[in-house]
Structure 1
Amino acid sequence: MVDKDDEYDDWPIIFSYTRKQAMEDGVLIDVTDEAKSAGFKVPVAIGDNLFNQYVSPPPGLEGEGQSISGRLHDLFMMAHAAIRCQRGESRVIFSVLFLMEPRKTEKITVLAVIGPGDEGEPVLTMCLPEDE
């Protein structure tokens, strides 16, 4: 019987893309400092589409009290709630409402994945499901 782990041992790695490279390229945005202030204990990054389309407020909403830090806070609070409800899962899907125009919100789905970082350490990544 062949051990499934041994089945791929001789396959050469053609390409690998590290978390560090993704951050350098802007594909992932490091929000660890902001996440720590919200109670997260592991490094946190969010996908560029989530950041650019939703976390960064659309122009004209500054007068509505919208800011990157406030929208990150909302994202983190909803992530905390979802993670607590699905304790023990490595993948959690949850929803967040973002103000996209005055008096118009958009409910989006976010995927949070805890997994190994470049050195095997636990890291959390949040992104739109289609960006996984």
Structure 2
Amino acid sequence: MSSDLPNSRPGRKAIIANHPHRQDIELARAAGISLARIAQRFGVGRGAVDRHWRGLSSEYRAELVATARSVESQHWREVTAELASIAKRYPEARADIDALAQLLQQSPPGSIMGGCANGTH
């Protein structure tokens, strides 16, 4: 006989914890990507992602957020550098490319990439 509580559902909390892309799921949530987008991308339920995230310690969540910001910052530096390289090759488009680079630096990446910082989508 199992020692589980009568109404418990074994394994529910382990869906994300045992997922092969757990770290990617955690970083996506830390970056503010919506539950729906994460669930769709990784083939899991929104509720599973939410339960997993809420079950993490606040210290670990803070570490994930810092890591996500660092990765995001590096990514946008690479994008901006590539845009500068393109602008050198196509001087006639430089003003448009510079404007795009400026927009990318000012806008939260989640809003451009379809994320949702508050997790309502």
TM-score interval, smaller chain: under 0.3
Larger radius of gyration: 2
TM-score, normalised relative to structure 2: 0.24
Is the strand fraction higher in 1 or 2? 1
TM-score, normalised relative to structure 1: 0.23
Which is bigger in relative contact order (C-alpha 8 A, separation at least 6)?
Answer: 2
